Amino acid sequence: MLFLDVLRKKREGHHLSPQEIAFIVKGYSYGEIPDYQMSALLMAICLRGMDDEETASLTEEMLRSGEVIRPEEIPGPKVDKHSTGGVGDKVSLVLSPLAASLGVKVPMVSGRSLGHTGGTLDKLESIPGFRTQLSLMEFKQNVNRIGVSIIGATKELVPADGKLYALRDVTSTVECIPLITASILSKKFAAGIDGLVLDVKTGSGAFMKGLEEARSLARSLMQTAQRMGKPAIALVTGMDQPLGRMVGNATEVQEAMEILHGGGPPDVVELTLELGYQMLRLAGLCQDRQEARRQLRSALEDGSAWRKFRELVECQGGRLRCLEDFHGLISKRVHVVTSQTHGYVNAIDTHKMGQAAVVLGAGRRRLGDKIDPSVGYEVLAKLGDRVEKAQPLARVFYRGEADLKEARNLLLDAYNFSPERPSPPPLVYETLEHTSK
């Protein structure tokens, strides 16, 4: 089998067989297919698409590119959560220890920043010493010991996704439903989970900007999970403004810690409670929504979730003493971006907000870029807020004047004002379910 023949076939819009997809994934994983050829195939897939069978085959081959944890290796109900990416989305930092504090085993295989969106692994690595590249043995031991562990794709676990994830980020092939589906589900199912809760974002800050696009991605994820015999629930949620107040890496960890102490922005708390309820459902621990949310809120308020977060940090090498004064890890160079007009915040181009974080150094422009965990910004005006001229819109934590200038312009361009107060968009648009094996 020749790679050029497979590439030509997909370029012309034809169906790839399971054997051809296996050839691609194995060849790229073993270094036999170079990045430049794989980039061409990724673009062909983006332009021509994949049907359900191809998507399931790609997911299966990526899943099998490394080791797969057997269910019996981590006893107990194992449920994970995944977000398709947004700006300011730090829910995983809160939800994983929160669910674990209530008895759910959470073996979370997560990702890094992708395009204009942030990554859970980058955020956690802003905690000095925190290791996201654990061996498979360490990963399993941590989940069995404290109920939760968060790692990235490794040479042992889904190595094909680790390579493809980085390549997609720098080849403009991020917003492709089959590639997103295979990337998410291969990582999640390799960890041996029993069920999966999906947060599929829609809006200006999401990869799937239109509601119907987000529904299509949610259906693809659900259908592929069904083919692979895993119960899943997908929430389609809004990303027409940053989630919470903080955007960045250390900045978002700081906000997550506020929530774990019983505070934090209402939108992040609400989404965390709703996703947590679905995790408890799939784990078989609580089917009543009101009771599940009561338990989740109680775990935030009584310190149970915070203690579990500290256990997670300690187990993965993070320095606990740094958590006591985490603000000290955020850049001391601060600039306040002020409004140049007045009115109600009518719309926010959240993609530009994400780009602002990238130019500050909180994300990657090119493969191999190093992230600065100390930079980011605080959102001071959100949808529906009344803003006067010269009123602060954002507080920026920056490293260099050139970065600041570009980020400031993006933040100003992101805001749109009107004389009338707009109706707020919903936080959760709808819920899709496939819960039977």
Domain of residue 397: give its range.
Answer: 330-418
Residues 77 and 34 in one domain: no
Residue 189 lies in a domain: yes
In a domain? residue 183: yes
Same domain? 195 vs 241: yes
Residue 43 CA to residue 49 CA, distance in Å, equals: 10
Indicate if 293 belongs to the active site: no
Q: How far is CA 273 from CA 207, 257, 300, in A?
A: 24, 15, 10
Q: Is residue 55 in a domain?
A: no
User: From CA 308, how far away is CA 101, in angstroms rounded?
Assistant: 6
113: left (phi over 0), alpha (psi -120 to 50) or beta: beta
Using alpha carbons, list the distances in angstroms from residue 247 to 88, 234, 255, 367.
Answer: 5, 24, 9, 21
- Same domain for 346 and 310: no
CA dist 234 → 112, 190, 195, 220, 423 (Å):
21, 19, 11, 10, 25
Q: Which residue has the tokens 């094996």?
A: 437
What's the pLDDT at 332?
A: 97
183 has catalytic annotation: yes
116 given a catalytic annotation: no
Check whether residue 339 and residue 302 sit in a common domain.
no
- 311 and 363: one domain? no
**361, 217: one domain:** no
Same domain, 114 and 36: no
Report residue 101 as tokens: 């504090």
In total, how many domains does the chain have?
3
- Amino acid identity, position 171: T
By residue count, the chain amounts to 437
Domain presence at residue 312: yes
For residue 45, the domain's CATH number is 1.20.970.10
pLDDT band at 367 (very low <50, low <70, confident <90, very high): low
Q: Exactly one of 10, 140, 187, 408 is catalytic; name it.
A: 187
Let me know whether 31 and 75 are in one domain.
no
pLDDT tens-place string over residues 35-89 = 999 999 999 999 999 999 999 999 999 999 999 999 999 999 999 999 998 999 9
Same domain, 42 and 114: no
User: Above 90 in pLDDT, residue 369?
Assistant: no
* H/E element, 381: none
Is residue 61 in a domain? no
pLDDT > 80? residue 366: no
Which entry of 78, 112, 140, 168 is annotated as an active-site residue?
Answer: 168
Which residue among the candidates 65, 83, 126, 183 is catalytic per the annotation? 183
* Token pair of 305 as six digits: 């979730």
Q: Which of 10, 81, 82, 308 is catalytic?
A: 82
DSSP 358: I
Strands in 115-255 per DSSP E: 148-152, 195-202, 232-238, 246-248
What percentage of the chain carries pLDDT values higher than 70? 99
Do 18 and 37 lie in one domain? The reply is: yes
CA angle 320, 154, 88 (to 5 degrees): 55
335 is catalytic: no
Dihedral over alpha carbons 212, 214, 217, 222 (to 10 degrees)? -100
The answer to whether residue 266 sits within a structural domain is: yes
Clarify whether 437 is annotated catalytic: no
Residue 373 contacts residue 249 (beta carbons within 8 Å): yes
Query: Is 308 in the same domain as 401?
Result: no
Other C-beta atoms within 10 Å of 270: how many? 13
| 57 within some domain | no
Catalytic residue among 89, 161, 169, 267: 161
Is residue 314's pLDDT more than 50?
yes
Say whether both 134 and 252 belong to one domain. Answer: yes
Question: Could you tell me the CATH number of the domain that includes residue 392?
Answer: 3.90.1170.30
**Position 117 confidence tier, pLDDT thresholds 50, 70, 90:** confident
The pLDDT of residue 342: 97
